[in-house]
Amino acid sequence: MLDTLRRIVLDFSQDTELQSALERMVRQVKAAMQADCCSIYLADYYQQHFVLMASDGLKITSLGQTCIAFSEGLIGLVGKREEPLNIVNAQEHQEFIHAPEVQEEDLFAFLGTPIIHRRKVLGVISVQQKEQRNFTENDEAFLVTLSAQLASALANAEIRNLLTFQQEQAQSVKQLQGVAGSPGIALSSIVVCQPQADLAAVSLKSAPNTGEQLLRFEQAVKQTKADFEELSQRLSGTINDESLAIFDVYKQLLDHANLGNEVSEKIAQGWRADSALKLVIEHYIQQFEAIDDSYLKERASDIKDLGTRLLVNIQQQAKEELILPKEFILLAQDVTASMVAQYQQAGLKGIISLSGSNNSHAAILARSLGLPAIMGVNASVLNQLHQKEVIIDGYSGELFVNPDDSLKKEYQYLLSQEEALSDKVMEVVDLPCETSDGHTIELLLNAGLSASFEQSSHIGAAGIGLYRTEVPFMNRHCFPSEQEQTLLYRKVLKFFPKHSVTMRTLDVGGDKSLPYFPITEDNPFLGWRGIRITLDHPEIFLVQIRAMLKANQGLNNLEIMLPMIASIEEVDESIRLINQAFYELKAELKANLFNELKQEFTRNLMDEMAIEGSSLDNQLLDGVLIDSVTKARLEEKADIVASQLHRPKVGIMLEVPSVIFQMKALAERVDFFSVGSNDLTQYLLAVDRNNSQVANLYDAFHPAVLAALYSIATQSAQYNIPISLCGELASQPAGAILLLAMGFNKLSMNGHNVPRIKWIIRHISYTQAEDILQHVLTLSTTKQVHSYLNEQLEAVGLGGFIRAGC
């Protein structure tokens, strides 16, 4: 029976036409269950009824014509109850509705089960028999199992046939769901971008002339480097941040010391240039896709993009330019960073990628450019959606195809509001971040991943609340040296000489890992990550701390933050290592300075003696002439200079729920707390926010999360410890209001959100925020929280921020 199930579902998923797939399925199920009839009804939420789409046993002329309201009949009852219904004599059931057009008068036994995908009833599958009887438990189990496996395939099939599904309803609005990759709204027509070359289509062939093949590859590499240089230059006039580093990574991979060398070796073994490229690229893709880490998994897309562009140049294909309208939304199976760079000055208003996540470089670039983006729309709709009018909502990840006039009017209004608000919020950039009744709070910048801290002085950020130091570790083939880290950290610290810069120590593991330091775990978010890794490898931790301390010398605006703290022992050990690095470095600095001063003193003394015509032997050059008084004076000078090495404040990230119950002991050991709301929410709700199956359950406005945050803020005030929050909640208008009222001293967020949140804070009183918070804390469901907060934003005149907020 299991083989039968697999065959039925596989046949269905492989069919390109929904109707033929449904018709084949009812025949297969009828035969497998030895029933007299099998039928499939699909839900039409636009009309609020089920439509008979396929049947083997009911009259064929009723297909596509018979409709049963969601609240009527046995089919409606199955959908409403969301569970199987097994009836001996369906025609005697109180919910039975006689539909003469289907001709089911001689069918009595009925078994129906709902087809549910992510809590949404997609349809109902039923079997019927002429004999009056209960279907067996095995029959019921078979149909329930089939419907569960069918649900995902049917969801995709429904999307594939988006424009032809049921009675030519292509003109009605269809809604798809993806992952919010970059905030914003766009209304325009779609331009589908197909790959110019396909590595999968390349057949593996050998070539007798390896020299010729190597030349072809080298010329392709040269041209591809030039292509990437052009794209990088094109973008650099618009943005100037770390998200452009992807093009440097591409060019580095092309060097002979990296990917280029591997392809050349394959060519030397006798493969054709395109075949050699295929072998190497697909090997890299397989390696990256096998990694659990969501950030590194997205690098498979970058490698594929690089390979495709190389293949185009190897095959010397003419680069077809898309015929572009004045404004458009780009859709591709896998939108890449180079695609965004290529089209961003040609009228690009937004992007839709059928694969990828908000960690992809395309999404990172989109955020830097202010382009709305939806990633991971699970459908194969490329050709069908070309030139179709759509609305993309980068806040919610929703995609609306063929929007009607009312929906367009609604989003045009929201878009006009958004544009007006964007201009308005810039008016407060240089003003203090304080409420209308004088309560102040600091807005800081999250930097290091994709945000440009160089531009933060123009958006009103008062320093960096979270600098992610792991990025320079990620974009390399080995651990960076102490000197390399020192130079990078000093550059960051210099941008905010009068404000604090909080640097988080290396935080890898979970959804971030290093290609040269792989971590393979069944459950990485509950595994070896954050401070656990660096404490297990103090040689890595100490080098990073030393680099931070050196970079801070003379600036003294560094604060060090420890990630993923779960116990007091981790804090004690971390502080011990920080103190060790500090005192060792101070001693080294003092010794080096003393030697420099001693050498300078000796040189000056030699110069004086030379002028007097005296001479010194080699032993005198070692400082024999320096008496104890002079030595003490030099040591004093060295002490003064060495005292510029500042021991920075040390804080911890509150991300693991266990710390909520250890606040007093933690407050005795550290200088500040910073809540990582993304991970705290994830751990409190037991939801992997990168898992599309449960991502809808991840919500920082969950009452339990808000209660935890309130407890943290209350305890921090009790123990007189400054408290900040870095995470998505801080950048949401309603979230910022709640955090303000809870007593958070600082909020840290991405750069483009700073002016917007400052505007929110300046247009509400602290008393109003407290009243809102006190009511929110009495609510018991996430839905209630969102509804109430939206009402309150409207009530205080901040309704225009709802789309960009909670």
Q: At what angle do helices 782-795 and 766-776 cross, to 10 degrees?
A: 160
Strand partners, 40: 54, 125
**Residue 168 neighbours by CB distance under 10 Å:** 9
* φ, ψ dihedrals at 246, nearest 5°: -60, -35
| Tokens of residue 593, six digits | 């300075």
The CA distances from residue 771 to 462, 533, 782, in Å, are 27, 43, 18
The catalytic residue among 193, 433, 726, 806 is: 726
**CA 527, CA 381: separation in Å to the nearest integer?**
38
Structure tokens at 63: 């297909």
What gap in Å lies between CA 19 and CA 657, rounded to an integer? 50
Q: What are phi and psi of 395, to 5 degrees?
A: -80, -45
Asked if residue 115 lies in contact with residue 123, where contact means CB atoms within 8 angstroms, the answer is yes
In this structure, is the dihedral angle defined by the CA atoms of residues 577, 578, 583 and 585, taken in order, positive or negative? positive
Helices (H), 553-622: 568-611
Residue 15, Cβ neighbours under 10 Å: how many?
A: 18
361 is catalytic: yes
**What is the C-alpha separation between 225 and 251, in angstroms, rounded?**
6
Q: Which residues contact 658 (CB under 8 A, 6 or more apart)?
A: 566, 567
In angstroms, the CA 326 to CA 309 distance is 26
Structure token digits, residue 408 = 């367009």
Q: Which residue is listed with tokens 């591709």?
A: 332
Task: Report the alpha-carbon angle 375-380-384, nearest 5.
Answer: 105
Element (H, E) at 758: helix 754-762
How many CA atoms within 13 Å lie on the side-chain side of 215? 4
Which single residue is written with the structure tokens 């010397």?
Answer: 316
Burial zone of 128 (CB within 10 Å; 0-12 exposed, 13-18 middle, 19+ buried):
buried
CB 127 within 8 A of CB 29: yes
Q: Among 761, 563, 771, which Cα is nearest to 670's?
A: 563
In contact, 63 and 20? CB cutoff 8 Å: no
Choose, from 37, 117, 193, 361, the residue flagged as catalytic: 361
Distance (Å) of CA 781 to CA 66, 166, 509, 794, 802: 39, 37, 32, 20, 19
Q: How many residues can be counted in the chain?
A: 806
Report d(CA 196, CA 200) in Å as an integer.
12
Q: Can you name the residues that pair with 468 across neighbouring β-strands?
A: 504
The whole-angstrom separation of Cα 365 and Cα 371 is 8
Catalytic-residue membership of 38: no
Asked if 509 contacts 532 with a C-beta cutoff of 8 angstroms, the reply is yes
Q: Which residues pair with 559 in a beta bridge?
A: 502, 649
Q: How far apart are CA 68 and CA 75, in angstroms?
A: 7
For residue 379, give the amino acid letter: A
Is residue 657 within 8 Å of residue 707, measured between CB atoms? no
**Active site (catalytic) residues:** 361, 726
